[in-house]
């Protein structure tokens, strides 16, 4: 798919202002993952959370989800994800994620039954956009959660 014909991700289902965070401080990647899972749970995107967390950590054990450009995309699918989401956080002080330094996290969660199609579509869509300097710059330079959310909302319409 080209950048001109992205998948249609509806903001109200995928991005949620409750799941956008700016300049957070984390000790390490596990701290960041735990925080984002708790916030997704508070936003009603996850029930329980342990199965989803296992899915994310299993993926991290297989290979780091740091993708370059100071970005990590931890992701997983499980039955305790009630609806697909992307939780986004910028980090005040970069943390080590595998072998790479990370300042931006895009955590993807999808229900188990959507693992193959939607999970991969979201991952591919994010990856394509993250290749663009202007996208990364807008994300990292957002100073409020509202500003970050607006950056993400505009992208959906490309």
> Structure pTM?
0.88
Q: Which run of H or E residues covers position 154? A: helix 145-156
Q: Which CATH architecture has domain 11-156?
A: 3-Layer(aba) Sandwich (3.40)
> Of 135, 149, 75, which Cα lies nearest the Cα of 105?
75
Instruction: Give the residue, 158 or 43, on which the prediction is more confident.
Output: 43
Residue 158: per-residue pLDDT: 35
Which tokens belong to 113?
A: 């039954």
Q: Each residue of 104-157: pLDDT tens digit?
A: 999 999 998 777 677 778 888 888 888 889 989 999 999 999 999 988 887 654
Residue 13: per-residue pLDDT: 57
121 three-class SS: helix
For residue 155, what are the CA distances in angstroms to 79, 110, 116, 142?
28, 20, 23, 14
User: What is the pLDDT averaged over residues 27-54?
Assistant: 95
Residue 21: per-residue pLDDT: 98
Tell me what percent of the residues of the chain surpass a pLDDT of 90. 67
């Amino acid at each position: 798919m080209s950048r001109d014909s992205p998948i249609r991700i509806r903001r109200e289902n995928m991005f949620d202002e409750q799941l956008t965070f700016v300049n957070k401080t984390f000790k390490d990647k596990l701290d960041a993952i735990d925080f984002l899972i708790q916030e997704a749970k508070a936003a009603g995107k996850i029930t329980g959370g342990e199965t989803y967390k296992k899915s994310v950590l299993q993926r991290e054990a297989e290979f780091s989800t740091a993708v370059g450009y100071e970005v990590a995309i931890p992701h997983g699918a499980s039955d305790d994800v009630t609806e697909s989401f992307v939780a986004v956080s910028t980090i005040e002080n970069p943390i080590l994620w595998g072998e790479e330094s990370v300042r931006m996290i895009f955590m993807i969660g999808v229900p188990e039954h959507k693992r193959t199609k939607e999970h991969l579509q979201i991952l591919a869509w994010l990856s394509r956009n993250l290749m663009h300097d202007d996208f990364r710059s807008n994300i990292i330079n957002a100073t409020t959660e509202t500003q970050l959310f607006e950056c993400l909302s505009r992208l959906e319409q490309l």
